[in-house]
Amino acid sequence: MELLSGDRPMDDGRETVAPSLWRSRAIGFLRAATTPLLPEDYVDLFDPLRTTTVLRARVTDIISETDDAATVVLQPGRTWRGHVPGQYIRIGVDIDGVRMWRAYSVTSGPRTDGRIAITIKAISGGAVSTHLLSSLQVGQIVQMEQADGAFVLPEVLPAKILLLTGGSGITPVMGILRHAVQDLDDVVMLHSAPRPEDVIFADELRSLGDDGRISLLERHTDEHGLLDTDELDALVPDWRERETWACGPAGMLEMLEGHWESAGHAHRLHTERFRPALAEPGEGGTVYFTNADREIDCDGARPILDIGEEAGVLMPSGCRMGICYGCVLPMREGAVRDLRTGEVTTATPGDGILIQTCISAAAGRCDLVL
Amino acid sequence: MTALQKKDHNPVEHLTRSDIESLGEELDALRAQIIESRGAADAAYIRRTIDVQRKLEMGARGVLLFSKYKPAFWLGTAGLTVSKILENMEIGHNVMHGQWDWLRDPKIHSTTWEWDNASPSDLWKHSHNELHHTYTNVLGRDNDLGYGIMRVDEDQRWMPFYLGQPLWNALNACFFEYGIAAYDLELGKYMKGRKDKAVFKRDLDKVGVKVRNQVTRDYVIHPLLAAPFGSWGSTLAANALSNLGRNIWTHSVIMCGHFPEGVETFTKTSIEGETRGDWYLRQMIGSANISGSKAMHIATGNLSYQIEHHLFPDLPSNRYAEISVTVRDICARYGLQYLSGPLPKQVGSAWMKVIRLSLPNHIAAKVKFPSRRKPVAPTALPSRITAMEQSERAA
């Protein structure tokens, strides 16, 4: 337990304690000397981890786990507030010049050097994960965000726990296990992977199993097929009594959620999804303006700006031909199509990709911040 | 110069409707090709430019701490001037055009960038990106033609006030950043009572804060920092000189974009129902380039490729040189003049026009000012190629 609470995000003393008068005067003076930039923008030129305006990390080690998975050790910048095991961080890298973000669970155990580790598995068709695995190098700087996510153990640890994972769904659970296994009495872990050699952290899991710290059930789906709920009764007869954390492919999670729901134990199941089901970009769709709380239906042939204005939404606008960038709005989620090129831009939840509403048509549902 | 539609000889009358549309298609294809090939090298270019500019600025300001010594004074002043020019032209102007928005880097984005200039970025983006770039060279709509204070076209009625315009223009060059701020405030429009008072007040406050910050930095804070080294006065002078140098440089470059003899202007009604091809054509013949070395192009923020910039204001500036090869070829094939010349010639031409138009037309007519828009014989006009193919088939 102490281990856990020690890892909780702590208030940053630098921010909560009011700076002294002289200190704030000095900061004011420095700002006046660097306007319109901030002093941090100049610090940034020499040490990208010292700046307080953006959080970044340096890659300090890359450790191969399986054929298509690797653990990346990161040294976060000075504003990093720490994480709770089970949480994820978003990592941003520039691919062909374009910044792309993806979420990865923190998998490292307790460390004294302030570093954290994430474990990345290549996903077929996953531009970011494959890029990271093939080109990430020690010493490289990546963008990151503060840890987030509610897939964590409660303060009062449950007596009996079931961990249900599939593929790279092992990563947040590994983060939890590495921190808390000492304090847990009864852990059943059921992990699915295509083949024995695809099991990430296999040696560590198996040795935890051999030592009796956890009851490890490995399932190799190439041989045994996908887990179904009937088998669950046979494999873990007391699953109803166990507080359960599950992470894995969307299909597996849906099956588990349905099963727990119908058994009336939904409150005992905690799930984590990494790859939100992306809406297939289509022709037209609903545009939701998040701050205005307005929803409008857009066809796929006309700019969102025109349709929004017709519906009485007060939108920023400019040249109306895609040249002045006076109409850009952040897109949090969804997809739009550039009416000039046909190019589709998609945003996953949490993104804030700025789009030009005067030349973009809805390509499925999308959320715009306005 | 007079509006294209009122000219005796119209330099685009040899173009058929389908020629203009195929010109538009060729330029759209060029645009798509550049967008497709944007990548890590372009991203590295803008980051390197920003890095160089910031280090140059820090270095120059550091050297100016010792500006009581003459060599340090001149070295620091030169460094700071170059840094301010880079910051305004190749970085600020282009970032605020959205040329680097595709990086999705919030630090290098049109919505977040603020520049070292008296005009706040949001006001500038409205008057420049939106009004000037949409209504390029349309008389009465594009205030960049004479910035609302000068007579730049024979069609504009002459008033005695214009006699002084060579002087106004020289003063404007020296205080250009304040000129831009006044222009972005739409000061003229306000004084004629055509701008909302509340909006004007709000904008004026923004400009006030921006100017105060700029002035405090250059004329109070940095001289104060240099005071312990006995260099406060010389630092103040150096900052003033570098602002002056930057102002004159940017004014000169901007004059070269649309003022030299041979650049076309358009009547207000001519843009009604304008197609994409028409729009491209207007940008093309309404702009002029500056030829020169790579360093010169960077120092102008690649606005030396004004024609390319006006065709594609949101494509990364480091690609304009490459784009210009195709644009030049299109001009030759379509029988359009690609107006370009070295800096002294373009600046001279722009100044000559300012001087000539300060006089009433009947007096100016007595002075010979040769037009620089030369008729260009098209080498491969699409409509003629089609006509030739048809006649071949008929034969």
Test mutation, A27, A321, A325, A339, chain B, max B CBs within 10 A: A325
The pair of three-digit structure tokens given for residue A317, joined into one six-digit string: 């606008």
CA distance to partner chain B, nearest, from residue A191 (Å): 37
Q: Torsion-angle region of residue B322: left (phi > 0), alpha (psi -120 to 50) or beta?
A: alpha
Residue B141 sits at the chain A interface (C-beta within 8 Å) = no
The continuous run of DSSP H or E covering A101 comes out as strand A98-105
Nearest CA in chain A to B44: A97
- Across the interface, whether the CB atoms of A319 and B214 are under 8 A apart is answered no
Ranges of residues in chain A whose predicted pLDDT is under 70: 1-19, 275-280
**Selected residues 90-129 of chain B with any CB under 8 Å from a CB in chain A:** 97-98, 101-105, 107, 109-111, 114-116, 125-126, 129
Rounded to an integer, the average pLDDT of B371-377 is 74
Test mutation, B42, B45, B104, chain A, max A CBs within 10 A: B104
Q: What is the DSSP string of B205-247?
A: HHHHHHHHHHHHIIIIIHHHHHGGGT-HHHHHHHHHHHHHHHH
pTM of the model: 0.90
Q: What is the rounded distance in angstroms from the CA atom of residue A366 to the CA atom of residue B321?
A: 38
Q: What is the rounded distance in angstroms from the CA atom of residue B307 to the CA atom of residue B340?
A: 9
| B289 beta partners | B340
Of A36, A96, A324, the CB nearest to B130: A324
Q: What is the rounded distance in angstroms from the CA atom of residue B15 to the CA atom of residue B4?
A: 14
CA–chain centroid gap for A153, Å, is 18
| pLDDT at position B371 | 60
- With beta carbons under 8 A apart, name residues in chain B contacting A142: none
- Across the interface, whether the CB atoms of B103 and A98 are under 8 A apart is answered yes
- With beta carbons under 8 A apart, name residues in chain A contacting B111: 325, 328, 354
List, for residues B174-217, the tens digit of each pLDDT value.
Answer: 999 999 999 999 888 888 888 899 999 999 999 999 999 999 99
Of B54, B134, B220, the CB nearest to A323: B134
Say yes or no to pLDDT of B308 above 50. Answer: yes
- Lowest average pLDDT, out of A33-37, B346-350, B371-375, goes to B371-375
List, for residues B242-262, the tens digit of each pLDDT value.
Answer: 999 999 999 999 999 998 888
- Across the interface, whether the CB atoms of A98 and B116 are under 8 A apart is answered no
Task: Answer for the pair B150, B162: CB distance below 8 angstroms, yes or no.
Answer: yes
List, for residues B21-31, the tens digit of each pLDDT value.
Answer: 999 999 999 99
Q: Residue B272 burial by CB count (10 A; 0-12/13-18/19+): exposed, middle or buried?
A: exposed
Can you tell me whether residue B173 is helix, strand or coil?
A: helix
List, for residues A143-197, the tens digit of each pLDDT value.
Answer: 999 999 999 999 999 999 999 999 999 999 999 999 999 999 999 999 999 999 9
- Across the interface, whether the CB atoms of B133 and A325 are under 8 A apart is answered no
List, for residues B85-141, the tens digit of each pLDDT value.
Answer: 999 999 999 999 999 999 999 999 999 999 999 999 999 999 999 999 999 999 888
CA distance to partner chain B, nearest, from residue A342 (Å): 11
List, for residues B45-100, the tens digit of each pLDDT value.
Answer: 999 999 999 999 999 999 999 999 999 999 999 999 999 999 999 999 999 999 99
- Percent of residues, chain B, with pLDDT higher than 70: 98
User: What is the pLDDT of chain B when averaged over all its residues?
Assistant: 93
- Beta strands B340-342 and B289-291, pairing class: parallel
The pair of three-digit structure tokens given for residue B245, joined into one six-digit string: 């140098």
- Across the interface, whether the CB atoms of B221 and A94 are under 8 A apart is answered no
